[in-house]
Amino acid sequence: MAVPRWQAGIGLGGNQGDVLASMVAALSAVHTLPGTRVVSVSSVYETAPVDASGPNYLNAVAVLATSLGPHELLRALQALELAHGRERPYRNAPRTLDLDLLCHGDALLNTPTLTLPHPRMGERAFVLLPLREALSGLSASPTVAGVCLPALPGDAEEAKMARAQGIARQCGFPVNFGI
């Protein structure tokens, strides 16, 4: 069995169908990937679409311990999206499930298929609030938690973004994965 070597952050979301059930099923599947386990998961947040259309989204963030490299993990996440009916008719289309690789260890990547850390996470309260929550269970510092993050806004700026983007905590994540 592969031993986890890195911590990675993934964003979960969607706004079509039974999103919460899709998020739970997808994260349960992620928890069974080779050498991968969920070590922390945020609450579920509801947010108005940002740079997108359609109904409000549900979002959460999970921190994983994984032996999969960044591209391997991305491929696994995209396969799970497809298994849950994800279609990509146009950029930022409404979706049944969205799984974004936010960060992977100390990886700094900018390839045609993957940029790490995620280039827009610092602008999105629906990522920042759950990310901070998921990381808070691990340590006081994101670098101690084993992930490389860009400079994040301070608490006041984050709260302003949350109000402007219409984000609200809905509930705790319905599965705790033994954490």
Catalytic residue numbers?
86, 95, 98, 100
d(CA 179, CA 26): 17
Which residues 6+ apart lie within 8 Å of 24 measured at CB? 173, 174, 175
How far apart CA 134 and CA 26 sit, in angstroms, is 17
Phi, psi angle pair for 47, to nearest 5°: -145, 150
Cα of first residue to Cα of last residue in the chain, in angstroms, is: 20
